[in-house]
Amino acid sequence: MPLASIPSPSQGVWYLFGVIPIRAYALCIVLGVIVAVIIGERRWRARGGAPGTIVDLAVWAVPFGLVGGRLYHVITDWQLYFGPDAPNEPIEALFIWKGGLGIWGAVALGALGVWFGCRNRGISLSAVADTVAPGIAVAQAIGRWGNYFNQELFGSPTDLPWGLEIDPDRPGTVPGEATYHPAFLYESIWDLGLAFSLIWVGRKLALRHGRVFALYVAGYTVGRFWIEGLRVDTAHHILGLRLNQWTSIILFVAAMAYFWYAGKKTGEESLGVTPEPAPDAEGSADAANPSDQGADAGETGQVDNGDEAVDTAGDEAGKEDGPIGVTADPAPDPAHPSDQADEDEKDGEPEESGASEEEGAAQAVSKGEKEKR
């Protein structure tokens, strides 16, 4: 027996009011998501993005990530649910609360959900990926404690003082052994160190275009490779390595290749921030403030006199266009026909007398012509 060890919790489920189950695994996942969103929001605002953007994108990422994580787990460990000696029923493949989320499935489908959200907002996916990468690592560090409550994700037997006590009836245990490497704790510590390293390197080198996220993938796969080698639970092996170790190798190479490729990019990444409208030019009318237009009209000579508007500027223009010393007659107002009638009475009398004289002369000429005939 080791001199010291880490005891496992006696239970991972509590019942509220004796009916509603509260599972530690689910609480750890939820807490990790909340912390990741908070970190991502702060980093996004510091970069110049609009507040609330990461929260909105999380609405897309979380459900996609949960589905992807469960699919990866079920596909890679199908023998746990569909094998001839499967310890679980096939329907239990849907019981996400019992543990079993593959991080790469969660990242892949979660990224797909974020891509949908970014398209709707006109945001660069690479900018979001760099922003949330440290928060994802912290979320994984918190989520791994759910494995502790479920007594899973432990390594080979060990007599080290920090060996983890596991119940002998748990899957993956070795007969006669009581303590094992706390692989969940190793990964949790690794993820926290990775998160702080990403923040420091990202600021130091001013990394953009998804290069911080590429470092997250590369850094996580390095730790996952050696931690995965400590595990003794059932898994598929290829050329002596567990399937997740081969996955780590492939993703590490792909991440480093993208890190090198993205270093050549120099363009700006869209943060989806709408620029504020430029102030109106001096003297231009504001369509949203018609009162301002009225004030401008008053300044140019448009005077409101009761129900009638008199354009004094037009009068001045008429005076300037006419001969010197002659004032142009004001145009008749169609809105006041009575004024026009008054003018006709004043001006019509001489016009009528002139017309009668011309008619008389015409009649005299016509009469003289008749007499000649």
140-152: pLDDT as tens digits: 999 999 999 989 8
**Cβ atoms 68, 109 nearer than 8 A:** yes
How open is the CA angle 86-87-92, to the nearest 5 degrees? 90
Task: Indicate the residue type of 169.
Answer: D
pLDDT band at 117 (very low <50, low <70, confident <90, very high): very high
Q: Which two tokens stand for residue 309?
A: 């508007």
Higher pLDDT, 232 or 210: 210
Q: What are phi and psi of 73, to 5 degrees?
A: -65, -45
**How far, in Å, are 67, 97, 333 from residue 101 at the CA level?**
9, 10, 85
Confidence check: pLDDT of 297 > 80: no
The residues pairing with 15 across neighbouring beta strands, listed in sequence order, are 21
Q: Tell me the C-alpha distance between 315 and 31, whole Å.
A: 77
Classify residue 153 by its DSSP letter: S
* Mean per-residue pLDDT, 163-184: 90
Q: Which two tokens stand for residue 19?
A: 């009916």
pTM for this entry: 0.70
